[in-house]
Amino acid sequence: MTGTGDGSRIRTGIQVLDERLKGGFPRPSTLLLFSDKPTEKRLFAENFAVQGAIAGEITLYVDFFRAPTLARAELSRFGKYPADRLIVVDAVSSQLMVESSEPYRIKDIDDLQEICDVIVQAIQEQKPSRIVIDSMEFLADHFPKDAVLDQWKRIIDEAAKVRSVTCFLFINWTYHERDLSAIRALSDFVVEFQSSMRGGILRNSMRISEMEEGGIRTNWIPYAFKDLVGVTVYFPRIMVTGPFNAGKSTVVRSLCEKSISIDRMGTTVAFDYGSVNITGIEAEIFGTPGQERFEFIFKIFAREVSGVLLVIDASRPEDFERARHMLELIGPRIPYVVLANKSDLPGALAPDTIVRKMDLPDGTPVVPTVATESKGVRDALAILAEMIIGVR
């Protein structure tokens, strides 16, 4: 699975993910979209299917929960796609005892063999490049385990013959850990999903692990869904901080199309706030005041940040100690990028000098910026995004 040429990889349509995956998932491959609690993993699968249809690829969607009309209506929320590119295997009309004119229709929902025969027939005839099985827990919950695992393997084999990337959705209600290991072993990638509700806000995140030894492995990536846009990677709470007068508010302004600042006589007293959307990354940006007397606000914001842009004035090494102190307040586990701002001023220090003077670990990213001209600021955010996503 090392092909990189045209057609050997299947894009997710989520740019930062596709970059991490070196262009997408390889053909053929098997994805296990897994969670052990209710999550929004269907969003990822639906987005993946619709992205394929939009790109003109044949996409097969096997739906055990929604009649085809409903499935197509809900999939169109992810964007307009050519109708003939998306083929639905109808496993629901027979459950509802309604008529169906779908070419691929499961007549007896209590017959595992027939269910899988219809799926395999659709794979052989349509040769889809993407397949979504929504979802395997329907089968796991209705049929004996060994028979389900046999049919699972059969679908994987048939999909591999047409070089398809197959997504199996699976929430585990019934299987034991040992069976789960067997299912993971059948997969090339496991995409795990988490949804958590804290303070009344629902947060979704996912993590991709390639099962192969030394394969790709990401951190938990937060994501969000918007009608007609689909799934985007979303970073809540990126904190912009740094010593007094380093240019934090200017950084927030240059990143965000719209931002607000609560300031007094040109210096920020509460916080700056804005949101940014670049190259498939959406982020929520908070700027904190740099003055020490507002440290209590800083401590409140620092609690739940996903990453930090530390803005320093590259021409004022006397403030570096203060910047270092701020990093200590944030704690050791939060990824951060240092923005060496005002790098156009005479006497501005070079990144490696800053690393040495601030006594930062080797490899700490220091990006020279000129926030007033928007230079380097977006690069710094992109680097931070990569650090948050992480990759092995």
Q: Are 32 and 45 in contact (CB under 8 A)?
A: no
Q: How far is the CB of 218 from another protein (least distance, A)?
A: 23
73 binds another protein (CB under 8 A): yes
Structure tokens at 198: 């804290």
Dist CA 228 CA 61 (whole Å)? 19
DSSP character at residue 137: H
Task: Give, as ranges, the residues between 112 and 171 that touch another protein (CB under 8 A).
Answer: 135, 137-138, 141-142, 171
Of 174, 260, 262, 329, the residue at the interface with another protein (CB under 8 A) is 174
83 binds another protein (CB under 8 A): no
Q: How far is the CB of 23 from another protein (least distance, A)?
A: 31
Q: How far is the CB of 206 from another protein (least distance, A)?
A: 14
Among 205, 308, 229, smallest CA distance to 15 is for 229
Q: Count residues binding another protein (CB under 8 A).
A: 34
Of 3, 7, 56, 74, the residue at the interface with another protein (CB under 8 A) is 74
Binding part of the chain for another protein, among 53-61, 92-100, 228-236, 290-298 by CB under 8 A, reads: 92-100
185 binds another protein (CB under 8 A): no
Of 6, 146, 176, 197, the residue at the interface with another protein (CB under 8 A) is 197
Q: From the CB of residue 214, how many other CB atoms can be counted at a distance below 10 Å?
A: 7
300 binds another protein (CB under 8 A): no
Of 8, 15, 194, 195, the residue at the interface with another protein (CB under 8 A) is 195
| DSSP string over 1-58 | ----STTSEE--S-HHHHHHTTSSEESSEEEEEEESS---HHHHHHHHHHHHHHTT--
Dist CA 41 CA 101 (whole Å)? 29
Sign of CA dihedral 297, 300, 303, 307: negative
Q: How far is the CB of 70 from another protein (least distance, A)?
A: 5
The answer, yes or no, to whether the previous bond of 8 is cis (omega within 30 of 0) is no
Binding part of the chain for another protein, among 33-41, 315-323, 356-364, 380-388 by CB under 8 A, reads: 33-41
Of 176, 198, 293, 303, the residue at the interface with another protein (CB under 8 A) is 198
Dist CA 238 CA 60 (whole Å)? 38
φ, ψ at 318 (rounded to 5°): -65, -20
67 binds another protein (CB under 8 A): yes
Residue ranges binding another protein (CB under 8 A)? 35, 37-40, 42, 64-70, 73-74, 92-93, 95-96, 98, 135, 137-138, 141-142, 171, 173-174, 195, 197-198, 200-202
